[in-house]
Chain A
Amino acid sequence: MSRRSVLRSAAGASVAGIAVTALAGTAGPAFAAATRPAAPAARGEATEATDTGPAEQVVVHLRDARSGEIDVFRGTSHTRVRDPELAARLVRASR
């Protein structure tokens, strides 16, 4: 039995569910428009060369509520979003 698979199956949707729902429910097209892919890794940077399978969970880090700067981590990718409206909603949701 793989420890990773144990963790994956045990993790469930609780953590991810909140984050993904938050994005899907509030961001909409504006979110997509504001999204830009993370910068490709430069030569020599730490990037795993192999795929890690489907990423089912997403972590959102609200870096700066004022500017609306949000980091989205999914699988082995990172996307920087600037969406003040979403940031405000996240702040409200966290209170």
Chain B
Amino acid sequence: MSSHREAPEISKDPVADSTDVYAFVSPDKPDTVTLIANYIPLQEPAGGPNFYEFGDDVLYEIHVDNDGDAVADITYQFRFETKLTTPDSFLYNTGPISSLHDPNWNSKQFYKVTRVERHGSHVLAGKLACPPCNVGILSTPDYEAKLGRHAVHSLAHGIKVFAGQRAEEFYVDLGSIFDLGNLRPLQQFNVFAKAHGLKSAPGVNASNRLNVHSIAIQVPISHLTRHGHPTIGVWTSASRQRARVHADAETEHFVSGPFTQVSRLGNPLFNEVIVPLGDKDRWNRTRPGSDKHFAKYVKHPELAGLLPVLYPGAFPHLAALDKARTARADLEAILLTGIPSGIIKGFTNFTGKVQADMLRLNTSIPPTPASSKKFSILGLIGGDPAGFPNGRRVTDDVVTIELRAIAGATVPLVDPKYVVDAVVPDVTDGLTGTSVKNKPLTAFPYLGVPYDGYHNPS
């Protein structure tokens, strides 16, 4: 998945597991940027009685680099605190929850947002209420009207924040992709699927009707960019205090020491698909500024070598490229530095020579209206410069974009003589935004209404 359970250590710590990062110029408020970091993957909506919540002991951060050194110039920190209304009840709620302060809601979460800059920090707001999880029609009736919408908090200077459960909008055919690299639409060519007699089939969205926990902040562009430098690099991280003494019969857990990073995420699928298993945990512990050590995996991605093996005869030019050990400068640009000007007419999101996995957003490129013919879920490779890898919008088909890029679609950016294999325009896991039941909202926080536990699963 984008970054769900993508590394051995963090897969065992879902509360701190970042799953997706989005960064885009807000379509309905184009003088602002919306930054979203999702955590706690693959939430089964009926997962009571201890429904999902952020970690009180986790430091969640969204970082922005605005001068190209891959070091955060601005960081938004989010700290959560859980308060029990009725500690002697085992129930999440003791009646219908009709407001964010309803006494029937037993386990409430509140949070504080702090902006950290080079020369100091200040708290933007505290005691902000999260919405409850969408338990079901009896417990959380009229969820969005009574709860979700009220959890959008407007702060000073045009900033909005939201933190809480949302519908998973990332779509991926997980069950097929991790079954020996099978892509259902192309499985008639997959060496293993062919042996099973499988024919071309539509994709299956493995993350449909599941929820995540989202941290979203909408900020005026002027709060994030440096004069004359409209491109920002964005990533999220989760950190835990270094020492933890587990409880025994006499004591409770105790944590101590400075926070240390346990999870991070910039570009979708970077740690998931690019970084090998033996290095994934280390990658999660390091900062983007050290990513030159991981650049070798981008230059020679394992998947580019696997595709011609899994789909014999379908990728002859990619196979030749891989055999020649040609470094993938196209992928280095897309994932590690941004695309310099002069490569794609009228477009750049280059942040400098420092190689770092950051989601790069050129904030001077206006959002493409969803109703426009120019809008494409394939983003830049679909001719829409407002989409991935220029930041990432909620509906962007990042799986297909990255699959095609790795398959060679973007090699001509750096080698105009390279001929892209004929099959590449058909490479996809066969999903689009229509594969997601609860659609994104048209306004902040953009992610859809979380699925409720009464109807999901059904």
- Complex partner residue of B289 from A6, A11, A44, CB under 8 angstroms: A44
**A-chain residues with CB within 8 Å of residue B56 when the two chains form the complex:** 3-4
A61 to B241, CA, bound (A): 14
Task: State whether the Cβ of A93 lies closer than 8 Å to any Cβ in chain B.
Answer: no
* Cross-chain contact A3 with B84 (CB below 8 angstroms): yes
Task: State whether the Cβ of B404 lies closer than 8 Å to any Cβ in chain A.
Answer: no
* Cross-chain contact B243 with A73 (CB below 8 angstroms): yes
* Cross-chain contact A2 with B83 (CB below 8 angstroms): yes
- Complex partner residue of A49 from B116, B241, B243, B250, CB under 8 angstroms: B116
**B-chain residues with CB within 8 Å of residue A74 when the two chains form the complex:** 256-257
Q: How near does chain A come to B243, taking the closest CB pair, in angstroms?
A: 4
Task: State whether the Cβ of A62 lies closer than 8 Å to any Cβ in chain B.
Answer: no
* Cross-chain contact A49 with B77 (CB below 8 angstroms): yes
- Complex partner residue of A10 from B59, B237, B251, CB under 8 angstroms: B251
Q: Given that A1-B87, A14-B250, A44-B63 are known contacts, is A38 also in contact with B258, CB under 8 Å in the complex? A: yes
* Cross-chain contact B259 with A76 (CB below 8 angstroms): yes
**B-chain residues with CB within 8 Å of residue A38 when the two chains form the complex:** 258
* Cross-chain contact A49 with B121 (CB below 8 angstroms): yes
Interface size on B, residues (CB 8 A): 41
Task: State whether the Cβ of B415 lies closer than 8 Å to any Cβ in chain A.
Answer: no
A15 to B244, CA, bound (A): 11
* Cross-chain contact A46 with B81 (CB below 8 angstroms): no
Q: How near does chain A come to B242, taking the closest CB pair, in angstroms?
A: 6
Task: State whether the Cβ of A55 lies closer than 8 Å to any Cβ in chain B.
Answer: yes
Q: Given that A4-B56, A15-B251 are known contacts, is A50 also in contact with B87, CB under 8 Å in the complex? A: no
Question: Which residues of B are in contact with A by a Cβ distance under 8 Å?
Answer: 56, 59, 61, 63, 65, 71-73, 75, 77, 79, 81-84, 87, 112, 114, 116, 118, 121, 123, 237, 239, 241-243, 245, 250-254, 256-261, 287, 289
Q: A59-B243, A76-B258, A77-B258 are in contact. List 10 more A-B contacts (CB 8 A).
A: A4-B56, A10-B252, A15-B251, A43-B73, A44-B63, A46-B261, A47-B259, A48-B79, A74-B256, A76-B256
